[in-house]
Amino acid sequence: MTTPHLLQRFVLLFSVLIAPAAWSAPLIPPPPQIAAKSYVLMDAASGNVLAEHDGDARLPPASLTKMMTAYIATLEMQRGRIHPNDMVTISEKAWRTGGSKMFVEVGKQVSVDDLFHGIIIQSGNDASIALAEHIAGSEEAFTSLMNAEAQRLGMRNTHFADATGLPNPGHYSSAHDMAILARAIINADPAHYAIYAQKYFLWNGIKQPNRNLLLWRDDGVDGLKTGHTEEAGYCLVASAKKDGERLIAAVFGTDSEAARAAETAKLLGYGFRFFETRVFNRKGDVLAAAPVWKGAARTVRAGLNADLAVTVARGEAGKLSAQTVLKPEIIAPVKQGDVIGKVEVRQGDKVIRQADVVAMESVEQGGFFRRMWDSIRLFFKGLFG
């Protein structure tokens, strides 16, 4: 054996002897090789990206586009602007649209609920345009709603030019953005999200299967959507739940229907094997009654405006701790949503996540004597520390 090799072995042995703690830390291997142009693996609770390759690359999303079409419809139903039983008259444009179809007929009336199923399960281009026209008057106007919602969600590498995903100049998205959208869909409405798990939908005498093959292969998979065009290749956004944890995988540009299912399954398997998530607080949880100075009330409920969750290497979640740190002086008036502190999640001595603590209600200014008395108290508090 040469001298350099002997020296390398000595250094390795010495490092093991003097630093055993470092070697006992859990190791996360790199993700498996994924035969796709782009992919992202995201934890649904925390939003943490666990693995990615060119996740922000702008690529044609094909029928993954319909996730946003269905999401807009969900939001419109929540706002009461449309209802599942509303009847939609099918336009000639919707009826003539090529590609995958629900097989609605021009001039006939179809309920919003049936169109919703036709979009999600059958990937109907005709259903997508019919629902877009019903919501916004035209497909073109509907795309404005799509892009506004994409911007609100933080989908920075997305621009929609249609409601279907058929090839269109300037129509693009990314694996990361589609994972963000999937997370929003999952959280928006459990009843509507449940439709993504349905394996078949019968309409007009034609029973069509959901194209997400993972619904048949993995009981934990319950969504979301496939896509395919010659330009985009075979794409899939899938979500699965296992032992109370949920992951989202977005895969763009595989070579076949079988490949997109297999590559997505590899990503999900990797995530469940090597990561775990701890949820510390839910949106709306009251973390503290924060003292308020000069207010009509002495305290204000403090909480979070979003779930606080952290994803770490499997086996490490039990070592995390969280601490709420409120502003030392909260002075009325306080508006609902005002930031009045932070929650810090620590891994040992290292802060790995922070979240704003907000006022969960408003507190008006108190009367003259309350303000005067608290001003005196604050003066002496500052004087004597």
Query: Would the CATH topology of 38-277 be identical to that of 282-384?
Result: no
What digits encode the pLDDT tens for the residues 34-45? 999 999 999 999
Q: Two tokens at 224?
A: 């979301």
Q: Using the predicted structure, report yes or no on whether residue 130 has a pLDDT greater than 80.
A: yes
Q: Using the predicted structure, report yes or no on whether residue 7 has a pLDDT greater than 60.
A: no
CATH class of 282-384: mainly beta
Contact 246, 272 (CB under 8 A): no
pTM score, two decimals?
A: 0.87
Residue 331, helix vs strand vs coil: strand
d(CA 73, CA 75): 5
Region of residue 218 (left: phi > 0; alpha: psi -120 to 50; beta: else): beta
Contact 149, 161 (CB under 8 A): no
- Length of the chain counted residue by residue: 385
Q: Are strands 245-254 and 221-229 parallel, antiparallel or unpaired?
A: unpaired
Hey, what CATH topology would domain 38-277 get?
Beta-lactamase (3.40.710)
Helices (H), the chain: 3-18, 20-24, 66-78, 92-96, 112-120, 125-136, 139-153, 175-188, 190-193, 214-217, 257-274, 368-384
Q: Using the predicted structure, report yes or no on whether residue 21 has a pLDDT greater than 50.
A: no
Tell me which range, 122-136, 280-294, 346-360, is most confidently predicted by mean pLDDT: 122-136
Q: Give the mean pLDDT of 282-288.
A: 91
Question: Which residues partner with 359 through β-bridges?
Answer: 302
Q: How many helices (H) and strands (E) does the chain have?
A: 12, 16
Q: How confident is the model at residue 370 (pLDDT cuts 50, 70, 90)?
A: confident
Tell me which range, 14-28, 147-161, 283-297, 367-381, is most confidently predicted by mean pLDDT: 147-161
HEC-encoded secondary structure of 269-316: HHHHHHEEEEEEECCCCEEEEEECECECCCEEEEECCCCEEEEEECCC
Q: Closest by alpha carbon to 343, among 298, 285, 275?
A: 285
Q: Closest by alpha carbon to 251, among 277, 276, 270, 279?
A: 270
What digits encode the pLDDT tens for the residues 86-105? 999 999 999 999 999 999 99
d(CA 45, CA 194): 18
Ranges 128-142, 251-265, 336-350: which has the least confidence: 336-350
pLDDT at res. 385:
60
Q: Give the mean pLDDT of 64-73.
A: 98
Q: Calculate the CA dihedral of residues 74, 80, 85, 89 and round it to 10 degrees.
A: -80
pLDDT at res. 118:
97
Q: Two tokens at 29?
A: 């291997």
Region of residue 100 (left: phi > 0; alpha: psi -120 to 50; beta: else): beta
What digits encode the pLDDT tens for the residues 48-66? 999 999 999 999 999 999 9
Cβ-Cβ contacts under 8 Å for 56 (sequence gap 6 or more):
156, 157, 174, 175, 176, 177
Domain borders along the chain are: 38-277, 282-384
Contact 185, 224 (CB under 8 A): yes
pLDDT at res. 366:
84
d(CA 253, CA 259): 10
Question: Helices 112-120 & 66-78, crossing angle to 10 degrees?
Answer: 150
Which positions are catalytic?
Answer: 63, 66, 123
Q: Express as a percent the part of the chain with pLDDT over 70.
A: 93
DSSP letter for 338, please: -
Q: How far apart are the first and last CA of the chain?
A: 69
